[in-house]
Amino acid sequence: MADVVLIDWGGGNIGSVRYALDRIGARAVLSANADTIANAPRVILPGVGAAPPAMARLHGLDLVDTLRNLQAPLLGICLGMQLLYESSDEGDVECLGLLRGRVSKLASAPGLRVPHMGWNRLSPVVDSPLLAGIDAGAWAYFVHGFVAPQTEDTLASTDHGMRFTAVAARGRCFGAQFHPERSAAIGQRLLTNFLAMEAA
């Protein structure tokens, strides 16, 4: 039996996330089948790209209600995390509504690159099993041009011209704006922590 199902919707980082899971000994299955995802012990929604085509693809695969009703732990990565929110300014699109808030464009500032590409420190806001063993100030790797606001769902934040959510959670739904598959030991720890979440 798989430890986790990786949603195969066409997100650009699916392969690298799968390799990262392989490195920590996880049994990962790629699938876009609603029944497989609904019955998975854990689910990861990866993503690189833009919110409107990503949501259109999830609708086309008939996965939106499956994800909204999922009982297993769910982790969204990068764009996958942004899709967990209620909506996004990117294309003014309705998202999954599993985390509260609206994703907005990262504000530009003198000397700061947008899209943001690089390493930033994590600032924990709330203790969570997802962040166990990850110290305040740990470096994580980000690639994005849109951000989620700080809300009661924020577990950790970071700063790039503005402060925004880096890690989030609500119930069995989790999100990482950074790329754990590209964040060395910190990323491996977050994925290991997620795989330790109680299965459905």
Catalytically active residues are 78, 179, 181
Nearest Cα to Cα of residue 83 among 71, 62, 68: 68
Query: Do residues 164 and 147 lie in contact, with contact meaning Cβ atoms separated by under 8 Å?
Result: yes
SS3 186: helix
Query: Do residues 138 and 189 lie in contact, with contact meaning Cβ atoms separated by under 8 Å?
Result: no
Cβ atoms < 10 Å from Cβ of 107:
12
SS3 67: helix
Q: What does residue 83 show for φ and ψ, rounded to 5 degrees? A: -70, -15
Query: Do residues 80 and 11 lie in contact, with contact meaning Cβ atoms separated by under 8 Å?
Result: yes
E runs forming strands in the chain: 4-7, 28-31, 43-45, 74-77, 87-88, 93-94, 102-105, 116-121, 123-124, 139-144, 146-147, 154-159, 163-170, 173-176
